[in-house]
Structure 1
Amino acid sequence: MLDHVFLSVRDLPASIKFYEQALAPLGILHVHDYDGADGPEGHPDLKGFGSNNRIYFWLRDGNVDARAAHVGFVASSEEQVNAFYAAAMAAGATDNGAPGARLYYDPRYYAANIFDPDGYSIEVVYKSWQHA
């Protein structure tokens, strides 16, 4: 299990706006801004997103190499996957795989894939066998 991920982005305000819209259907909100001056020398400022009293997805200003990361978020239903995809596309995402079963993984693996404004590969997935 991961605790947190940092993504470096080209345009921090635009990326914040994009993820606020795209992640809202998953209940993931922009919940905290961390001032890097409060950390060790050289620590970046961070914009944190999370849910359920956890912050686990962070954005920071920096150089972008979209090939360096693929981030997968958990959805609690196929409908939530669909809502994420619609919100992300409305926010300016590029399609990388419309919502549907990913039969090459498992018939119960339902996902949507997009590229964010920096070209990062973002996936939202509902794996029915992982939910009660």
Structure 2
Amino acid sequence: MIDHVYLSVSDPERALTFYLAALKPLGWEAFGKYDSENGPDTVPDLWGLSSQAGRNSIWLRQRTAGETGIYLGLVADDPSLVDAAYAEALRAGGRDDGIPAVRQYFSDGYYAANVVDLDDNRLEFVHKSWNQKPA
């Protein structure tokens, strides 16, 4: 299951207005803004939208010069699966972009690992303690 996607845009506030209007009929709403001053240098300011169910999100970020690809967050049902996906991605030729660890700067119970694939797309394997596995 997809947990979240980062979309790199030229004007995040303008894009937020667009996405709020376009996704409102589907039950999406503003989720909040992440201020990059609260985390590591590798995490930019983010403007969030969330689905009605609250299990999926889209984060808008300022595009940087020469940036390509996508950032895709994928749900892991427990931290051991984050570790396993990270290890397998590296064995398959991916590059480390953040070792498995708690991402306290996002929230308590946010455990993730990041890799860059063979085409410079970014993947995050993430377990959020507040997201329960569907029955």
TM-score, with structure 1 as normaliser? 0.49
Higher relative helix content: 1
